[in-house]
Amino acid sequence: MLDVAPEVAAALAANRPVVALESTIISHGMPYPQNVRTATRVEAAVREEGAVPATIAIIDGRLTVGLDATGVERLGRGGPGVAKVSRRDIPFIVARGGDGATTVAATMIIAAMAGIRVFATGGIGGVHRGAEVSMDISADLDELGRTDVAVVCAGVKSVLDLGRTLEYLETRGVPVVGWKTDTLPAFYTRSSGLPVDYRVDTPLEAAAAMHAKWRLRLSGGIVIAVPVPEDAALDPADIDAAIDEAVAAMPAQGVVGKAATPFLLQRIADQTGGRSLAANIALVVNNARVAARIAHAYCRADTRSDD
């Protein structure tokens, strides 16, 4: 059920760096054709750092590791009509022979199946605001607690409850690591003011922690949180106001579950005149570059088997 692109398989067999990339950013993250252009830019950023990109999705019921240009275009044109796939959805999309765009959780699962240890994305899911009533908590968090993949991101999506998300990750034993920062990035802004568990300043530091964690059989992922590039960061007051308005609009629109994050991102983009979308693109490209450097260091750090 797993199709690994020849280039990706060859790189993994030769212990060369590979970076997994998710596909919901293509189908649900932004409109066509900007979604396809962004996916192409992200893959190019990984290649520019000397690593192999592996965009992950489900195509015709096959778990696909390393989408070709046709696959990316297919998801981009399909947009929100493509199934948004997390752990619970994978068997049904596979059984039905359908297409699916993978969330952080699903991408981690399939990356681990293929033997990929480093994954770059925009931001992880988390505990939604008001979760004490709705119980809306992203499956990304439990996946981080069980699947051995390092997730390079710009922190938790800032539409969520960042403090409660950190508490949940602590409970699941997931280290939250700041990339050259002592505080958790807040997606569109460089700092939430909340402390991270650890800080790393070089790819080798991150890779050494990854090797140690998994050799000790401490299963689960690592969050490596990278601040949005300074020239793309938004003003905290402006983005907070846009987020508050978007969250307040959800009940009247009847938005719940999987539809929440795409709705919020689009609403915030409208509120900020597109500046949030530009920041989103800048941060995911930057994350891909950092992930590629960490993947290089992970391959170099120790060639012994993680088993």
Q: Is 213 among the residues known to form the active site?
A: no
In 3D space, the residue among 48, 59, 61 whose CA is nearest the CA of residue 23 turns out to be 59
The three-state secondary structure class of 29 is: coil
User: What backbone torsions phi and psi does residue 264 show, to the nearest 5 degrees?
Assistant: -65, -45
Task: Tell me the C-alpha distance between 305 and 266, whole Å.
Answer: 43
Residue matched to tokens 């060639």: 303
Looking at domain 2-301, its CATH class is alpha beta
Q: Which of 243, 43, 270, 42 is nearest to 157 (CA)?
A: 243
Rounded to the nearest 10 degrees, what angle do helices 236-253 and 260-271 cross at? Answer: 130
Q: What are phi and psi of 160, to 5 degrees?
A: -100, 180
Q: What is the pLDDT of residue 191?
A: 96
Set 43, 84, 157, 258: catalytic member:
157
State the pLDDT at residue 271. 85
CB contact set of 294 (below 8 Å; sequence gap of 6+): 118, 150, 152, 203, 206, 207, 210, 224
Q: What is the pLDDT of residue 295?
A: 98
Nearest CA to 41 among 296, 294, 269, 289? 289
Q: Which long-range contacts (CB under 8 A, 24 or more apart) does 40-44 make?
A: 40/69, 40/72, 41/281, 41/285, 42/120, 42/284, 42/285, 42/288, 43/288
CA-based nearest residue to 207, from 101, 125, 300, 272: 300
Between the alpha carbon of residue 189 and those of residues 46, 128, 165, 184, the distances in Å are: 23, 18, 17, 10
Provide the pLDDT for residue 305: 44
- The segments of the chain whose pLDDT lies below 70 read 257-258, 302-307
The confidence score (pLDDT) of residue 31 equals 87
The packing angle between helices 275-301 and 260-271, to 10°, is: 120
Domain parsing of the chain, residue ranges: 2-301
User: pTM to 2 decimals?
Assistant: 0.93
pLDDT tens-digit series, residues 203-262? 999 999 999 999 999 999 999 999 999 999 999 888 889 888 888 887 887 777 667 777
CA atoms within 13 A on the CB side of 143: 24
| pLDDT confidence of residue 306 | 43
User: What is the rounded distance in angstroms from the CA atom of residue 43 to the CA atom of residue 190?
Assistant: 23
Q: Which pLDDT belongs to residue 259?
A: 72
Bridge partners of residue 176, in order along the sequence: 223
Name the amino acid, one letter, at 187: F
Active-site residue identified among 22, 43, 49, 143: 22
22 belongs to the catalytic site? yes
